[in-house]
């Protein structure tokens, strides 16, 4: 349920609505758009609530949201959400590039990667320190040491860093180092993790579960938003289909659809979606053409020796070329690469 305030409603009237909601046991989430202010009602609503709220001063309308997610919906917030990290705006009409190794390995290699992606025009450095692995005997990441390496790369290059958190118990630790916390595909419905990152105070990038319909993905985002964190970024990283020649199937149509149904920015991840380095560039261009607010791409100085996802990692040369081609598409569709600081 959404309470739409009258144009020109006063702060006292808005406060009045928030106060009444609290008295009734709900949380009110405020969204000030260019044209109107709306209050999202967080909690299990009942039909009579609409009448109780409609009579409050300053209220223009009370609308029942037809979809189960509210704070994530365009109905609640018509304007695009812009997530700001360092000097970079994600969702502001530009194309933002996140790039780096799948997993953090040595300081030397991560530094080399950070320098290269920065020089090629990327905005954010990625690297996994906690790795979700299908096989428990595979490399599972360096943990805090990995985060320290990423932080050192940030210190040198100035690039903000994004890194995955897999366990609610590690949220505090990852929040201390990373500028954006990543929730991986496999954890999209780890509800206690979603609650925890909802309270962490940093932006969160929520990857789509490889099995998840859009509605479940947006409901997962709703968990984070409902805890008070409005800095949520979606990431399409491919879904499971019958196709086995690619690692997953990149669902391009979900990009414009998510943007229609939700105000949250969306990033395309052609690396995990395809699993093959030579498919990354074409699907990167396609994601941007389809409306993605940015991309996340895996890059490694020596993909053959990467500790994870070498087959989909780009060499430095391939990444430079991808940046050129994506830059052209981004310009052509009116969302040029975001300025670099
Ligand atoms: C990753 O980004 O390295 C990763 C593990 O991605 P996903 O959760 O999409 O598989
Ligand atoms: Mn990976």
Q: Which of 113, 146, 272 to mutate to test the pocket of ligand 1 (most atoms within 8 A of CB)?
A: 272
Q: What ligand 1 atom has the least distance to the C-alpha of 126?
A: 2
In a domain, 41, yes or no: yes
Residues whose CB is less than 8 angstroms from the CB of residue 16 and which lie 6 or more positions away in sequence, other chains included: 56, 57, 58
| Same-domain check for residues 55 and 166 | no
Residues 148 and 30 in one domain: no
Residue 73 confidence (pLDDT) = 95
At 139 the pLDDT is 96
The pLDDT score that the predictor gives to residue 213 is 98
Q: Which residues place a Cβ less than 5 A from the ion ligand 2?
A: 102, 309
How many domains, the chain?
A: 2
Q: Where are the alpha helices (DSSP H) in 267-308?
A: 270-274, 277-289
CB 248 within 8 A of CB 280: no
The set of protein residues with a Cβ atom below 6 angstroms from ligand 1 is 102, 128, 132, 184-186, 207, 237, 272
Distance 223 CA to ligand 2 centre (A): 25
User: Is residue 211 in some structural domain?
Assistant: yes
- Look up the domain containing 19 and give its range: 2-63
State pLDDT tens for residues 261-290: 999 999 999 999 999 999 999 999 999 999
For a substitution probing ligand 1, which of 164, 250, 273, 311 has the most ligand atoms within 8 Å of its CB? Answer: 164
- Mean predicted confidence (pLDDT) in 285-302: 98
Give yes or no for residue 84 having a pLDDT over 90.
Answer: yes
Q: Candidates 103, 165, 180, 269: which one to mutate for ligand 1, based on the most atoms within 8 Å of Cβ? A: 269
Expressed in angstroms and rounded, the spacing between residue 103 Cα and the centre of ligand 1 is: 10
Q: Are residues 203 and 243 in the same domain?
A: yes
pLDDT one-digit tens code per residue, 88-102? 999 989 999 999 999
Q: Which H helix or E strand runs over 42?
A: strand 37-42
Which ligand sits nearest to residue 188's alpha carbon? 1
Q: Is the pLDDT of residue 36 over 90?
A: no
Structural contact between residues 225 and 29, judged by C-beta atoms closer than 8 angstroms: yes
Atom of ligand 1 at shortest distance to CA of 103? 3
Helical packing angle, 144-157 and 107-119, nearest 10°: 40
Looking at the fold, whether 136 and 58 belong to one and the same domain comes out as no
The atom number, within ligand 1, closest to the CA of 182 reads 2
Report if residue 73 sits inside a domain.
Answer: no
| Consecutive H or E run containing 51 | helix 49-54
CATH number at residue 175: 3.20.20.70
Q: Is the pLDDT of residue 341 over 80?
A: no
Kindly indicate the confidence band of residue 18, based on its pLDDT and cuts at 50, 70 and 90: very high
Q: What does the alpha-carbon distance between residue 68 and residue 78 come to, in Å, rounded to a whole number?
A: 17
Q: Is residue 338 part of a domain?
A: no
Same domain, yes or no: 6 and 151? no
Ligand 1 pocket test target in 237, 249, 268, 274 with most atoms within 8 Å of CB: 237
In a domain, 78, yes or no: no
Tokens of 70: 């509210």
pLDDT of residue 66: 78
Higher pLDDT, residue 207 or 67: 207
Atom of ligand 1 minimally distant from the CA of 128: 3
Average pLDDT, the chain: 96
Closest CA to 288 of 132, 105, 93, 10: 93
| 28/173 same-domain check | no
Give pLDDT, residue 174.
Answer: 98
Q: Are residues 46 and 135 part of one domain? A: no
User: Does residue 153 lie within any of the structural domains?
Assistant: yes
98 lies in the same domain as 21: no
Q: What is the mean pLDDT of residues 305-318?
A: 98
Task: Give the integer Cα–Cα distance in Å for 91 and 81.
Answer: 6
25 pLDDT higher than 80? yes
Q: Is residue 31 in some structural domain? A: yes
Percentage, residues of the chain above pLDDT 90: 94
> Are 19 and 165 within one domain?
no
Q: Do 94 and 190 share a domain, yes or no?
A: yes
Q: Residue 49 maps to which CATH number?
A: 3.30.70.1140
Q: How far is the CA of 308 from the centre of ligand 2 (A)?
A: 6
| 222 confidence band (pLDDT: 50, 70, 90) | very high
Q: Rounded to an integer, what distance in angstroms lies between the CA atom of residue 197 and that of residue 308?
A: 25
pLDDT digits (tens, 9 = 90+) for 231-252: 999 999 999 999 999 999 999 9
Residue 341 lies in a domain: no
- How would you classify residue 304: left for phi > 0, otherwise alpha for psi between -120 and 50, otherwise beta? alpha
Atom 8 of ligand 1, residue of closest alpha carbon: 184
- Are 20 and 103 part of one and the same domain? no
pLDDT of amino acid 47: 87
Q: What is the mean pLDDT of residues 142-158?
A: 98
pLDDT band at 33 (very low <50, low <70, confident <90, very high): confident
> How much is the pLDDT for 35?
80
Is residue 116 very low, low, confident or very high in pLDDT (cuts 50, 70, 90)? Answer: very high
Average pLDDT score over residue span 207-218: 98
Total-model pTM: 0.94
Do 120 and 35 have their domain in common?
A: no
């Amino acid at each position: 349920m959404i309470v739409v305030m009258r144009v020109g409603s006063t702060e006292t009237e808005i406060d009045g609505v928030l106060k009444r909601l609290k008295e009734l046991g709900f949380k009110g989430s405020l969204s000030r758009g260019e044209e109107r202010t709306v209050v999202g009602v967080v909690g299990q609503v009942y039909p009579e609530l609409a009448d109780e709220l409609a009579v409050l001063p300053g209220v223009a309308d009370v609308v029942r949201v037809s979809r189960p997610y509210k704070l994530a919906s365009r109905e609640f917030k018509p304007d695009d959400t812009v997530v700001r990290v360092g000097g970079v705006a994600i969702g502001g009409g530009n194309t933002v590039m996140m790039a780096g190794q799948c997993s953090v390995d040595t300081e030397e290699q991560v530094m080399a990667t950070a320098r290269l992606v920065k020089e090629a025009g990327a905005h954010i450095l990625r690297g996994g320190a906690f790795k979700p692995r299908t096989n428990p005997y595979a490399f599972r990441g360096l943990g805090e040491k990995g985060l320290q390496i990423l932080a050192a790369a940030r210190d040198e290059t100035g690039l903000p860093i994004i890194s995955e958190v897999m366990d609610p118990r590690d949220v505090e630790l990852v929040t201390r180092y990373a500028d954006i916390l990543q929730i991986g595909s496999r954890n999209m419905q780890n509800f206690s993790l979603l609650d925890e990152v909802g309270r962490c105070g940093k932006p969160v990038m929520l990857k789509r579960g490889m099995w998840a319909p859009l509605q479940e993905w947006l409901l997962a985002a709703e968990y984070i938003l409902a805890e008070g964190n409005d800095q949520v970024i979606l990431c399409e990283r491919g879904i499971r289909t019958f196709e086995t020649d690619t690692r997953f199937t990149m669902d391009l149509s979900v990009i414009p659809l998510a943007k229609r149904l939700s105000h949250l920015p969306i990033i395309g991840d052609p690396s995990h979606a395809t699993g093959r380095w030579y498919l990354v560039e074409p699907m990167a261009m396609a994601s941007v053409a389809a409306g993605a607010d940015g991309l996340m791409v895996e890059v490694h100085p020596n993909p053959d020796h990467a500790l994870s996802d070498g087959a989909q990692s780009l060499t430095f040369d391939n990444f430079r070329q991808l940046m050129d081609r994506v830059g052209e598409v981004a310009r052509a569709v009116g969302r040029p690469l975001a300025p670099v600081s």
